[in-house]
Amino acid sequence: MSLALLDTEAYLAGHELPVSTARVLVTLNGATFITTWFLTAFFLLAVAPLALGHGRRIIGWSAVAVAAVTFVGVAADPNNLGQLSSLFSLIWVVGTCVALLRREPRRAAVPAVA
């Protein structure tokens, strides 16, 4: 959606785009960009219990941490910490890919019931 808004703005800029329309397009673009931060945080909160349930503690708890930083960062300072949370989520994705490629999680030995 954000890309479509920017493309519309770029196209109309050569065709005498009114200033009020340009402001609306820029505001909508910023709103959709910030909305993606919340969508990422909700995705991470949905993945965390799944990872924890399968023994991937680091993946699960780091997903919760990145989601918390996103919510707090957007509320506290969307210009700095809010944008940095987007980088944290991308780092989380790369780290999760590496962790999943490395090995299966170690499970505690469960004694057999006789």
In a domain, 114, yes or no: no
pLDDT-derived band at 1, boundaries 50, 70, 90: low
- Amino acid identity, position 73: G
Which tens digits make up the pLDDT trace of 31-53? 888 888 899 999 999 999 999 99
Query: Which residues form the domain of 23?
Result: 2-102
In this predicted structure, the answer to whether residue 27 has a pLDDT above a threshold of 90 is: no
In a domain, 19, yes or no: yes
- Structural domains of the chain, count: 1
Helices (runs of H) and strands (runs of E) counted in the chain: 4, 0
* % of the chain with per-residue pLDDT over 70: 82
In a domain, 108, yes or no: no
Of the candidates 64, 67, 65, 58, the residue with the CA atom closest to the CA atom of residue 95: 58
If phi > 0 it is left, if psi is from -120 to 50 it is alpha, else beta; for residue 16 that is: left
In a domain, 61, yes or no: yes
Judge residue 65's burial from the number of C-beta atoms within 10 Å of its C-beta, 0-12 exposed, 13-18 middle, 19 or more buried: middle
pTM, entire model? 0.74
